[in-house]
Structure 1
Amino acid sequence: MISPVMADILRAFHAETTPRLSDGCVSVLGMDQLSVSLALEGRLTEQLWSTDETSTSFEDLQFTVGEGPGPDALRTGQLILEHDVSAVPPQRWPVLLPAMARLPIQALFCLPLALGGIGVGVLTALRSTPGPMTGQQMDDALALAATLTLRFLGGDGEQLVASVRPGSESHRAVVHQATGMLSVQLGLPLAKALLRLRAYAYGHDRSIIDVAQDVVARRLKLDNDRPAPEETRE
């Protein structure tokens, strides 16, 4: 059974013509950060909402390396609940775990936004201290995930973006733009152009958003080979 506080949050969410997530969800779930991502193609997602820089950085990191609890939840449709990140076997996410060591994340919980075989996104909850969710917190998280799923299936994803970032483009719009530019410049399919962008960002320990901005502004040139000295910032 969901808590009275979460019930009030969801009641308000349902009543709004333009849905707006409440920051109160964070405290109700006993978390430090929350984020919501919408599925695009395969395991790719577009971040729609996040509470702060840590959750945004974590989502961008998963997007860059192409692995993590979010992609796993989207692929399997199963809950990914890791209440102690330090105990996760290194082979589970061999690239992500070392890369996220700088982030203050000790517990993570990813809930797929899915109905039957239809997966529409992921709700991710993060905490800086280890420990599982309580039964009440899990009930509330599942209720929030179910509500988001129904809104997305009803076509409210774009409305949610507009309510969170009024008048702004999607968080990764510059990544999509840079991918298109690289596709033309390097003569690569879009999927491979995105891989080149990801590889460069990871290999140079940079945010994929920052790298994409450099590509779009023509401050960074990538060759069609593996990252090498000739890939320079002007």
Structure 2
Amino acid sequence: MISDGMAEVLRLLRLGEVGDPARACARALGAEGVALSLLLGAERTAEPLWYHPDLSARFEELQFTLGEGPGPDAVSTGSPVLEPDLERVRPERWPALLPAARDLGVHGVCCFPLGVGAIRVGVLTLLCDGERRLSRQQYTDAAALTATLTGALLNGDRRDGGGGGGEGGDGNGPELGTALEPPSALSRAVVHQATGMVSAQLDVSIQEALLRLRAHAYGSERPLGEIAADVVARRLRFNDDFDDDFDDDVSGPYSPDGGKG
């Protein structure tokens, strides 16, 4: 049975009366932080929807940049990934993420995929204090929250006046109003654009292009979004030379077509 605190949060979410859903969920779950990301685009990129506190957002960005961690694993397997104490995780499991998470001050993470069967629509991430395991009550509350969010997303709920279920809904599912509205300006949009440009520059698949972007971000110790912005601004161009994966003109924008495009 879910706790009274989570029951109240779910009630307020359905009424659209939660001003800061991430903070409310973190409080009800007793978590150090909470983040909800939706899977958008052809690459099913995790787009952050809401989070609390800022550390949750930084950890989500870290997972996105490295392409590894409990979030990607939860999405891949369709099962919760519970690691409330990252110090106990084998180093080879997430070799890049674990030391970076430690430097960030993240001690434990539990991720719950949003979806049904092979369908994935998002992931809910909880930050833990690293000193205790996730309690049975916390797991029950997190599972209830995940089920509610999944149902609302699959029902297409947007509170658009279309009978309570939105496009594809039957009017009987949960209504979460603007709590699940994708942001008007997607923070990953520049990454999608840069991935396409690198794919064209190297004549490789979108998946490989994203891997090359991530490798460069990891090697330069910069967020993937910054690397993508440099590619889009033509300050950074990838080539197919194995020994020199990229050309980086730090003095200003670099236009490989002579400024004609």
Q: What is the TM-score normalised by the length of structure 2?
A: 0.78
In structure 2, what is the Cα distance between the partners aligned to 1:225 and 1:156? 48
Contact 2:84–2:129 at 8 Å: present in 1 too? no
CA contact (8 A) 2:70 2:81 kept: yes
User: Displacement, 1:139?
Assistant: 1.7
Partner of 1:6: 6
Q: Which moved more, 1:56-65 or 1:217-226?
A: 217-226
Report what 1:152 is aligned to: 153
Alignment of 1:48 onto 2:64? no
What is the aligned partner in structure 1 of residue 123 from structure 2?
Answer: 122
Q: Say if 1:13 and 1:19, in contact at 8 Å, map to a contact too.
A: no
Contact kept, 8 Å, 1:107 with 1:131, in 2: the verdict is: no
Q: Please give the alpha-carbon distance, in whole angstroms, between the structure 2 residues aligned to 1:166 and 1:69.
A: 23
The offset of 1:184, in angstroms, is 2.8
Which amino acid counterpart does residue 103 of structure 2 have in structure 1?
R
Q: Contact 2:66/2:97 (CA < 8 Å) preserved in 1?
A: yes
Q: How big is the shift at 1:199?
A: 1.0
Q: Counterpart in 2 of 1:180? A: 196
Task: Tell me which residue corresponds to 1:170.
Answer: 186
CA gap 1:76/1:134 in 2 versus in 1, 3 angstroms? same
Deviation of the 1:44 alpha carbon:
4.3
Deviations 1:11-46 (A, max 9, x none): 121223999735211111111211112234577433
Which residue type is aligned with residue 212 of structure 2? R
Aligned residues of 2:18 and 2:24 also touching (Cα < 8 A): no
In 2, are the aligned partners of 1:23 and 1:51 still within 8 Å (CA)?
yes
Alignment of 1:188-203 (within 5 A): 188-203=204-219
Instruction: Specify every segment of 5 or more residues in structure 1 that has no aligned partner in the other structure, as ranges.
Output: none
Do residues 92 (structure 1) and 93 (structure 2) align? Answer: yes
Distance in 1 between the 2:230 and 2:38 partners? 25
Matched pairs, number: 234
After superposition, the Cα gap between the structure-2 partners of 1:46 and 1:229, relative to the gap in structure 1 and judged at 3 Å, is: closer
Q: TM-score, normalised by structure 1?
A: 0.86
Higher-Rg member (1/2)? 2
**One-letter amino acid of the structure 1 residue matched with residue 120 of structure 2:** G
CA distance in 2, matches of 1:142, 1:125: 12
**Residue 212 of structure 1, aligned match among 192, 206, 228:** 228
Deviation at 1:147, TM superposition (A): 0.6
Rounded to whole Å, the distance in 1 between the matches of 2:187 and 2:79 is 26
3-state SS, counterpart of residue 248 of structure 2: coil
SS in 1 for 2:111: strand
Kindly indicate whether structure 1 or structure 2 has the higher relative contact order, using CA contacts under 8 Å at least 6 residues apart.
Answer: 1
Would the alpha carbon gap of residues 102 and 165 (structure 1) be closer, same or farther in structure 2, given more than 3 Å must change?
farther
Q: Deviations over 1:120-171 (max 9, x none)?
A: 22111013443112222222111111111101111248x9897578864112
Q: 1:74 to 1:166 in 2, by over 3 A?
A: closer
Q: Identity, % of aligned pairs?
A: 46
CA distance in 1, matches of 2:203, 2:151: 40
